[in-house]
Amino acid sequence: MSDVWFYHLQRAGLEETLPRLVVKSREKGWRVAIRTTGEERRDALDDLLWTFEDESFLPHVTETDPQAADEAVVIQAGGRDLNAPDALLLVDGAPLPEDLGGYQRVILIFDGGDDEAVAQARVRWKSVKAAGHAASYWAQDEDGRWVRKA
């Protein structure tokens, strides 16, 4: 069974949170797939990972790269794994795969200011728990640190 983590964005936005989660996943030696819902958003996340810090970047490709299967980090608008990821990061309401068993961790990142995204996360939480996966809920405390709440 996979660990499924729900990241509730309230204090920090996706642009701050996503790169940090990718860095932490890579520090574990994991291959990473980031899934979003459209090509325009995929391309924006591609730009983000190249520029999120002045002094560094995260090597990655998008699904359009012919070498995507060989890369450690792939950003994709589609729902098919290209690089045999250990960690799957879902943003912008990208759908959960039917089978979560092949991942070390699945991270659903959702916007706390979007009522529809929060409602969708609740439905997904119930689905994940009903399927027997270990689910945890993360939110930021007053100091900006991510804390497991459930």
Would you say 60 and 71 are in contact if contact means Cβ atoms under 8 Å apart? yes
Question: pLDDT tens digits, the chain, 150 residues: what are they?
Answer: 689 999 999 999 999 999 999 999 999 999 999 999 999 999 999 999 998 887 777 899 999 999 999 999 999 997 788 999 999 999 999 999 988 988 999 999 999 999 999 999 999 999 999 999 999 999 988 888 899 998
Helix (H) or strand (E) holding 58: none
What is residue 51's predicted lDDT score, i.e. its pLDDT? 87
> Which residues share a beta bridge with 5?
107, 136
Domain limits at 8?
A: 3-148
Residue 27: Cβ-neighbour burial (10 angstroms; 0-12, 13-18, 19+): exposed
Q: What's the predicted TM-score (pTM) here?
A: 0.94
- Domains identified in the chain, total number: 1
CATH code for the domain in which residue 27 is found:
3.40.50.10110
